[in-house]
Each structure stands twice: as C-alpha cells, then as structure tokens.
Structure 1
C-alpha cells in the first residue's frame, strides 16, 4: 500500500513539474552535407558548458542552473556520446552522418528573477529536436504530386545538363519503356538500382541537391525493400491510365505508398507542430561546384520551405486546433570557418541573395527571421591573412589563403570557385569544455529567447 502511495505522489509531482515546464519544438532542417549532426552535437555541448564559454556572458544564461541531456525514456536518442567519441579521437574525425531518425531532449532549469523571485517557481524549458537524414527533406515536395506528375518532372530534369549526361544510357532505357506494357519484376529491380546509382552520381560528382526519391539514398529502418522498387517512367504523364500489372500500375502503387506512408507520415509526425526552425545550408559547397549546383540548391530549398507553414496563427486558431505555424526561423550558412572571418558575412549574404524571393514571402507572413553565418565547430585558426587547419585523413597542418567570396551573389550564379579544402575537426575537443565555434552562442541565445523567460 505504501508503495502505491509513493508511486502516486511521484506521478503527481512529475505532472506538476511538467505543467510548469515550457516546451520548445525546434526543427533543425538541412540537406545532406549541411552539418546537421555536428550542429546538434555542438548545441548540446554549448549548453552543457554554459558557464564556461561565451554563453556565460549573456542573459538568460547567467540564471541557468542546470542542463540535462536526456537519453533515458527517449525513443531513439540522439547518438551524442558516439559523436563526442569521433570528435575526441586521434586524429579527430567528424561524426557519422545521420542514417535514421533520432530525438534530442534537453532540459534547462532557470532561476526566477525580479522582485517576486523568492516566491516564483524555478523556470524550466524543454528543448525537443528531431534528427534525421537530410535527404528526407527533398521528398516533401512529393506530397503535392501524383505519380504521373512526378514522371513528367523527372523527364524535364533529365533533359537538362548535367543530369542528362550523368544519366547516360539509363535515360534512354527509361524512355524506351511503354508505361502500359506488362512490368518485368527483374528489370524493375535492376533499374531501381541503376536509378539509385544515378542519384549518387548527381550528388557526388555534380553537387546537385534535388535527388528523388531521397530514401533510395538513405532508406532508414522499417522500410520494406520491395516498396522502394519504383522508377520514373519518362513516357508517362498525369493522363496515363493504369492497367493490371503494367509498368505504370506497379510503379504508381509503390510511389503512392512511398508518398502517403513514408513521406506524409514523416511530415505529420515530426514537422506539423514546430515552434521554431533552424535551417542549415552548406552554401560554400555549391559555390565551389558551380552554377548548376547553385541553381539546384535554390530550387531544392524553395521546394522544402514551401512545405512548411510560416506565420503567426494566433490564439483563436490554436484554440480551434488549426495547424500551428513556425513563428521564428534561423537561416544559417554553415561551415564558414573555411573562409576568413571578414568573408563569412559575404557567404551568408550570398545565401540570402539565392533565396531572396522565398525569404521575402516568409517575412511577409510575420515570421521573425535571423540570418547568421555559422560554424558549429571551428576547424581553422587565423594567422595573418592565412588560415591554418588539418586535412581529413592526413596528419599535420596546412596554411592556406581561402578564395575570395563576392559581396553579393551574381544573378547569373556564375562566380569564381572558392576552392575549398576538406578539413578535419580541431584536436583536443572534450565534452567538459565548450567547442570552438563561430556564433553558436548567438544562435543558442536566440533560440532560448523564444521561451520568453
């Protein structure tokens, strides 16, 4: 009986604590290669060491009593310890890219302030973040398409360079298939593998961003392999008709499953209730790859941003259970430690130039937008006009002068390549010390401001 009473009081106490807790649902979104896993690792590290780094000098972190990164009672917890092990290894290496869903839960406790601080309860904030493969974002535009429309879109993309050359004979093979003919299961499986290899070439060799279906590159867990066996039929369109066991019928059924079960399920479960969003973009990589990569990044980011709801929904809408909208957006060019500090704002400006129209739409909806050039973990140090860093897979150090970054992105998207180097993390990183960075303190403070402490 005493055990039951103790459990009851414990549950009551836990519920009371939850009632006094504010929850921030933060969506950290970024395409593959944007540095999302490194960013989340650094975010936890900066909060755990809030009393030692730059955060200690600013409010409200002067009132932050404790930080707890949760891994118990959290389904698929973010692999923070694995990321720390990679960063602290000798030689240091970057954490593995995200291959499946994971969740970050960070609990903060703040001392109250003001004249009534002695009678006010301790303020608590829970930060809830989802980590996922960046490629999965690229599937969100599929929610607006049926299979025939997607085939039309793929046919248009493969008409244009560099995709046409990268596809090679695969393009002609897909053009030769009659959508109304009976499907060949063995050929379909082989073509699905060929399409996956084509997507890999697009990403690796040309720096292209729009690679669909994204789960062909990062399937995640719990996905039946057979349901991923579909391809774009380049002669199909939105007016094509289905017949039993035809190429169109088989591929359309699997496309619909992919869109309605995987893509919509992912969106509805994890993105519909965000309060704030951090959008990470590797701008330097596409600038290095050239005009086609920049244009593809722009189109990919515009499609991704159009999949989210931005703006203030208001109290009445929330009471009536209308879909809440993202009210704050941090828009960050990442890995800016690869260029000199005086050029980092130019990288951010080029990113904002690339996304000018879409950002104007978001701001017009009443969303607070923060543009911030960011390096979650700074891998370089400056010596005069040069940068010093270590290269991935190599020992020792290199001293180099980064290429110039224009003050604004040319409208033609043609510019001289900044000629980037593959840098390794700095040595000596430890969980008990804040990682070196550029502007992580600004971003973390901006996030916490949303809690209105």
Structure 2
C-alpha cells in the first residue's frame, strides 16, 4: 500500500525472486565414439516429457514440475529428436543414428514454487540447453596444446606400437619415407590423406581404439571444406624441423595450424566457454571386451580429454576459455548389458581407469559424480539370465553375460564380458517413459540447485 514501507527482508526476497526469473542452464554432453550420446539425449527428453509417469515423479524437484516443452522452432541446428524416436519405436526397433554434426537441445521446464516464494511468484522456469557433437571431435582437444612437429612425433610413437603398426601397414613406411624439406606433391598428399582417414576408421572398427586424430577426418561436420583436411603426419619430422615454401613440411604444417587454431579452437571457444555442467559418457564395456590394447588406448584418450577439461588455474581451458564449470558427471553407459549386480562394478572400473585424472579434476575445485547408466534398457532379467533381442534379428535370446571384476586390474589385463549386439526393446513410445537405469538420478543431478 502507498505510504507503507515494506520490511527490508521482504524487499530482499522480492528482488531475489525477480532476479531468479528464467534461469538458463547450459550442459555439455560429450563422449567418445559409441558412447551412446544420441540415445542418451533422446531418453533424457523422453524422461522429462513423461515426468509424471516415471521415476522422476517421486523425487524433488520434479514432483513440482508442471510443464515441459522441447523446442525445435527457432533453434539453430536442432537435435533430431523425432528421427531418433522413429528409430527406437520402429519395427524392428533400431538404435538412432550416431551424432554426425553439431546439434542443440533446448528444453523449457516450469516448476511450482513453494514456501514464501510462492506468494511472490507462482511458478519458476528453467531453460536447459544441451550441446551435442560427435565424440570424434573431442579427441582433437589435445591438439590445442601442441605444434605440428610435436604431433608428428606423437604419431610416430603411436604407429611404432601395436596394434596401430599392423593396421597402418604400408602407410607407415610411406609417411616415414617423405623428406619434409622436399617439394610437396599435391596428388600424393591427397592420396595419403585418404589413406590416413581409412587408417583411422580401421583403428576404430577393427581394434576398438579411441585415440584417432584428427577427429574431423572421420566426421568433418558442416562447414569443413575438404582442403582443410589435406595434411598428414610426416613421421621423419619433429618439433625442430623447418621447411621452405612449397615443401611437404610447409604445406602440412600450415594446414595443421589452421585446423588447430580455427577449426578446433574456434569450435570449443564458441561453444564451451559458457557451460555450467559437463557430462562425460564412456562406453567402458566395449573396450573391456576388446582387450588390453583397447583399454590402454581408452585410458590415454580420456586422460588427455580430462587434462584439457581440468578447471584449475593452470589448465588449458582456463587459459583459453575461462570456463565456469563446477560439476562433472562421469558415466559408464550401456550397463544393462551385464547382470544387475555388476552394473556398479562397470562404473567402478571406469573410475579405476581414471583415478589420477579424476583426482586432478577434483583438486581443481570441480565436484565429480559417477553414474552407471542405461539410457534405454535393452535387457530384462529372468532369474540369473538376461533376455534381449539381437540387432538384425527377430525374436529373443536368453543368456548369461560374462563377469566384470569389482576393480580394474592395474595391468588392464581382463577377460571381457563377451558382449552381444543388442537391439532396443520393442514397444517404445514417446508418451511412455523409456525403461532405463539411473537416468532419473542423473537428471536430478543436472538441475540440482537450479530449480529451487
């Protein structure tokens, strides 16, 4: 009323309520190839859209969630949610296509207010923005901290070791035979770049290796001209090598520098400088099944990623992007492929693989949580066995999955769980929550502290 001064505390609450407005939460979802990012994001939207029917209805703050709106109009490069739903609900059901380019997800949530704030503002909105991009691009992060000569040295070390040495075959000898100071042969360079791309594809598919650089040789994405990718590692070069204009060194070094400074740094600088939280998805079971070389390569790949994502004062990202990420979720995916009693063991093995790196991230002030996940549960338990459908086949199989150790051995020698290629469960529908494992816990972590 006019002439009546409002209590100081009430005015403070009003100002706080006004400032809350419609907060914006930006979450990065990253993961290496085959981690299941597309299925994860599809399940995330599905769980939110069906919050009243699923496990979310039993937990705060989703017991106050009134409305959910997934946006596609007005969103640049929207996530292909409807196409992913069509694949999962098909007959036969199939997994969505893997992420091949940058896409965005924008979800608006509206919560009922409680307590004193209810008198000042009946509802509170939260906008969640998720950035999705190919896992192959994630492996380019370490390039930001090296020059072309250092990369050549690193590639020579990688190709000298198995299984890359055998996979590369004659390509390794061809790259080692090139004199960096010799005049460049444009036709030969194009052939070698194509051969390098094929080598990266076979390293991933035949040996289950994770470190495949440059990542955009595998999935360029939109806006990447073919000439940007015309460089290869010169295995006889090192960080002290130099070359005149027109030489192999000059051509490859210039294109590498452009790739690093404009393609890699430009992408991360534009899209990662404002993230609030980060989710890292990891297919741990695939490398465990593939054996020690794949696990060793996964460990090195994830350590290089976490080195770049270290948020302390001296980290690469702090120098380049000044991030404000305060929380990181590290998630072992597809854990429904093993017995329910061993699903947490898969997560423990992932954290064992990354013990030192996660300690460094925590020391930098970031809170780390681990979540074993099945974004869409493909199996059901019957007694001591699992029942599921196989990709490309009709009907169902009943099987007992192989074992997973409680902790990962230090030498990474492990007898894999002998995985089957499973298809999604039948009968999935957009208007029913997908069967999942711990997606509700992760979604709760995502909005923690932002929906109060």
TM-score, normalised to structure 1's length?
0.93
Q: Which residue of 2 aligns with 1:183?
A: 184
Farther-moved stretch of structure 1 (300-309 vs 167-176): 300-309
Q: Which residue of 1 aligns with 2:392?
A: 393
State whether residues 196 and 232 of structure 2, in contact with CA within 8 Å, keep that contact through their aligned partners in structure 1: yes
Farther-moved stretch of structure 1 (281-290 vs 220-229): 220-229
State whether residues 312 and 326 of structure 1, in contact with CA within 8 Å, keep that contact through their aligned partners in structure 2: no
Do residues 130 (structure 1) and 131 (structure 2) align? Answer: yes
SS in 2 for 1:21: coil
Q: Distance in 2 between matches of 1:78 and 1:269?
A: 18
Q: Distance in 1 between matches of 2:191 and 2:361?
A: 42
Q: Which residue of 2 aligns with 1:251?
A: 252
The Cα shift of 1:369 comes to 1.2
Q: Which residue of 2 aligns with 1:363?
A: 362
The Cα shift of 1:232 comes to 0.3
Which aligned pairs between 1:267-416 and structure 2 lie closer than 5 A? 267-310=268-311, 323-416=322-415
SS in 1 for 2:302: helix
Farther-moved stretch of structure 1 (184-193 vs 16-25): 16-25
Q: Distance in 1 between matches of 2:139 and 2:205?
A: 16
State whether residues 68 and 108 of structure 2, in contact with CA within 8 Å, keep that contact through their aligned partners in structure 1: yes
State whether residues 312 and 365 of structure 1, in contact with CA within 8 Å, keep that contact through their aligned partners in structure 2: yes
The Cα shift of 1:226 comes to 1.1
Do residues 117 (structure 1) and 118 (structure 2) align? Answer: yes
Q: Which residue of 2 aligns with 1:33?
A: 34
State whether residues 312 and 366 of structure 1, in contact with CA within 8 Å, keep that contact through their aligned partners in structure 2: no
The Cα shift of 1:144 comes to 0.5
State whether residues 24 and 125 of structure 1, in contact with CA within 8 Å, keep that contact through their aligned partners in structure 2: yes
Point out where structure 1 has 5 or more consecutive residues left out of the alignment: 1-15
Q: 1:246 to 1:345 in 2, by over 3 A?
A: same
State whether residues 311 and 326 of structure 1, in contact with CA within 8 Å, keep that contact through their aligned partners in structure 2: no
State whether residues 152 and 237 of structure 1, in contact with CA within 8 Å, keep that contact through their aligned partners in structure 2: yes
Q: Distance in 2 between matches of 1:142 and 1:155?
A: 15
SS in 2 for 1:436: coil
Show CA shifts across 1:242-280 (max 9, x none). 211100000011111111111001110111221111110
Q: Distance in 2 between matches of 1:242 and 1:260?
A: 20
Q: Which residue of 2 aligns with 1:101?
A: 102
Aligned residue pair count: 432
Q: Which residue of 2 aligns with 1:159?
A: 160
Q: Which residue of 2 aligns with 1:68?
A: 69
The Cα shift of 1:120 comes to 2.2
Q: 1:322 to 1:101 in 2, by over 3 A?
A: closer
SS in 1 for 2:402: coil
Q: Distance in 1 between matches of 2:18 and 2:188?
A: 58
State whether residues 379 and 425 of structure 1, in contact with CA within 8 Å, keep that contact through their aligned partners in structure 2: yes
Farther-moved stretch of structure 1 (210-219 vs 116-125): 116-125
Q: Which residue of 2 aligns with 1:5?
A: none
State whether residues 272 and 323 of structure 2, in contact with CA within 8 Å, keep that contact through their aligned partners in structure 1: no
Q: 1:417 to 1:116 in 2, by over 3 A?
A: closer
The Cα shift of 1:450 comes to 3.7
The Cα shift of 1:326 comes to 1.4
Aligned-residue RMSD, C-alpha: 1.8
Q: Which residue of 2 aligns with 1:81?
A: 82
SS in 2 for 1:118: helix
The Cα shift of 1:119 comes to 2.3
The Cα shift of 1:323 comes to 2.0
Q: Which residue of 2 aligns with 1:195?
A: 196
State whether residues 310 and 361 of structure 2, in contact with CA within 8 Å, keep that contact through their aligned partners in structure 1: no
Which aligned pairs between 1:430-449 and structure 2 lie closer than 5 A? 430-449=429-448
Q: 1:255 to 1:368 in 2, by over 3 A?
A: same
Show CA shifts across 1:202-235 (max 9, x none). 1001000000011010001111101111000000
SS in 2 for 1:415: coil
Q: Which residue of 2 aligns with 1:150?
A: 151
Q: Distance in 1 between matches of 2:149 and 2:323?
A: 32
Show CA shifts across 1:88-130 (max 9, x none). 0000000000111110000101111013413225211111111
SS in 1 for 2:140: helix
Q: Which residue of 2 aligns with 1:9?
A: none
Point out where structure 2 has 5 or more consecutive residues left out of the alignment: 1-16
SS in 1 for 2:293: helix
Q: Which residue of 1 aligns with 2:6?
A: none
State whether residues 283 and 332 of structure 2, in contact with CA within 8 Å, keep that contact through their aligned partners in structure 1: yes
State whether residues 327 and 367 of structure 1, in contact with CA within 8 Å, keep that contact through their aligned partners in structure 2: yes
SS in 1 for 2:139: helix
Q: Distance in 1 between matches of 2:171 and 2:330?
A: 37
SS in 1 for 2:118: coil
Q: Distance in 2 between matches of 1:326 and 1:357?
A: 20
SS in 1 for 2:359: helix
Which aligned pairs between 1:208-247 and structure 2 lie closer than 5 A? 208-247=209-248
